[in-house]
Amino acid sequence: MNITFCCANTRVGPWLADLRLALPQANVTEWQPGAPQADHAVVWAPPQQFMDEQPGLKGLFNIGAGVDALLKLRLPPSAKVVRLDDAGMSVQMAEYVCHAVIRHFREFDAYEADVAQGRWSYRKPRLRADFPVGVMGLGVLGERVAQALRQFDFPVHGWSRSPKAIDGVICHAGHAAFDSFLASCRVLVNLLPLTPETRDILNRDTLSRLRPEAYLINVARGDHLVEDDLLALLESGHMAGATLDVFRTEPLPAQHGFWKHPKITVTPHTSARTLREESIAQIAGKILAFERGDPIAGVVDPVRGY
């Protein structure tokens, strides 16, 4: 069994070494132009040339949860695209989102500003019931985030394309329930996959349907958000602020208005990073199951985009 590794902006050596340990029966190599055909590929942001030169691939194993960049390419006709289910990302995402929600709810950003000016200040405690949180996207990551938020006694709503049931979470499903979901939320967390249907879904119209003084947390993809619409709603006062980890252009350009906006917190696409050991264990298990003909989780439907 031949496995090729083609991952942009990744330290190749540790990945190759760990893949070889996990799959000692396989020949694992880094892809170079003109390389021999492989049975499976472990990839992140591969070039089109890679796809064109590997028409016989059976499996494309993506080392991240999002596959939108991969699906833009012309893929080998027989290859199944397989994404990671978790690999240590869901707990990181839950940490990040809970931190952002609590920082806003407890007004820690305002306290930080006061401390920077040498002011000893006090704010009246706010009620969690006044801050219902909505999670858009209830896959592996979204479900973990929703469950984590419930531990802090926030009312939690979830929205997904198909019906889901999560203990303690009010679940909404489908296009018909989208507006009522938005109207229920004062804090909105976006964890949707990026597809043609969800591109620009965070826009003036949808964000205006949130409760007044709403707060946005985007940890999915930058192309979900119409940036100028968010800025306009912050200016009008309908939106109280945002924590943004993903952007249409990354790295975020130095002159971008988000950097110094007083109501926006920026982080450099770090809400949930791929953990190598967990990812390799999962990928190796899926490759072996694939070769045995067993069903595997995480196979992407190219029509839906996830």
* Residues designated as active site: 221, 269
Q: In what order do the strands lie in the sheet with 80-82?
A: 27-30, 2-7, 40-44, 59-62, 80-82
Q: How far apart are CA 214 and CA 97, in angstroms?
A: 15
95, two tokens: 């940490």
Angstrom distance (rounded) from CA 154 to CA 169: 10
> Can you tell me the distance from the alpha carbon of 49 to that of 117, in angstroms, rounded to the nearest whole number?
55
Phi, psi of 211 (to 5 degrees): -60, 155
Helices (H) then strands (E): counts for the chain: 10, 12
Six token digits for residue 261? 């906006």
Half-sphere CA count of 144, side-chain side, radius 13 A: 17
| Residue spans of alpha helices (H) in the chain | 12-22, 48-53, 68-71, 89-105, 108-116, 140-150, 178-183, 204-208, 227-236, 276-292
CA nearest to 164, candidates 138, 132, 184, 129: 138
